[in-house]
Amino acid sequence: MKKGIVNIEFIMAVFIFLSSISFTTLSIARDFFSIREASFSDTIKLQVTATSQLLLFDRGFPENWETGPVTDVKRLGLSSGNKFILDLNKINALQTFCTSNYAKIKDLLNVQGDIILNIKAIDGTQFLDCKPSVESLLRPKFPSEAYAVIVQGNRKQIVKFTTTLVV
């Protein structure tokens, strides 16, 4: 081999080596960010499911929070005390509470971002529509759906309870 002359095999070997390193680095970086995004998404989905379950199965604290002043509410819950049976008085109180003090609801439910609560009967009757005054169309939404029953006198209605976190 003469001085100053590089063999073509050496140039190709260096090129293949650098290409392999670049490809591996880019693959790892791409996978890292997709795994991180999936982890964040799973965390938010878990939070919205937990919030939905809390509202669906808990009576709140105090248990008759809908009859007292808003300042006394420590924990929201819509359950009547029986599984999957929602208390219509609590739903109505939450609707009133939502229109007057949405920020307090977010604080009580300990959510980051915005929360949208919707309870609608199968026949289309709207029982609860709690959402921020301005909704973002750009931020991702994470919904959770559950079904429950509302008792009105002798009539039982199946309702779809949707909890959506907007982050």
Question: Could you state, in order of their start, the residue ranges of all structural domains in the chain?
Answer: 8-166
Contact 121, 157 (CB under 8 A): yes
pLDDT class of 10 with cuts at 50, 70, 90: confident
* CA-to-CA separations, 86 to 34, 59, 146, in angstroms, rounded: 39, 9, 12
* Amino acid 2: pLDDT: 63
Pick from 77, 156, 159: nearest CA to 120: 159
36-89 confidence digits (pLDDT tens): 788 888 999 999 999 999 999 999 999 999 998 878 899 999 999 998 999 999
Q: What beta strand segments (E) does the chain contain? A: 85-86, 114-121, 126-130, 141-152, 155-166
Six token digits for residue 159: 């309702």
Contact 129, 95 (CB under 8 A): yes
Give the global pTM. Answer: 0.78
Contact 85, 149 (CB under 8 A): yes
Sheet with 114-121, strands from edge to edge, namely 85-86, 141-152, 155-166, 114-121, 126-130
75-119 confidence digits (pLDDT tens): 999 999 998 999 999 999 999 999 988 999 999 999 989 999 999
pLDDT over 90 (residue 5): no
* Amino acid 4: pLDDT: 66
Indicate left, alpha or beta for 104 from its phi (over 0: left) and psi (-120 to 50: alpha): alpha
pLDDT over 70 (residue 125): yes
d(CA 5, CA 87): 86
pLDDT over 70 (residue 32): yes
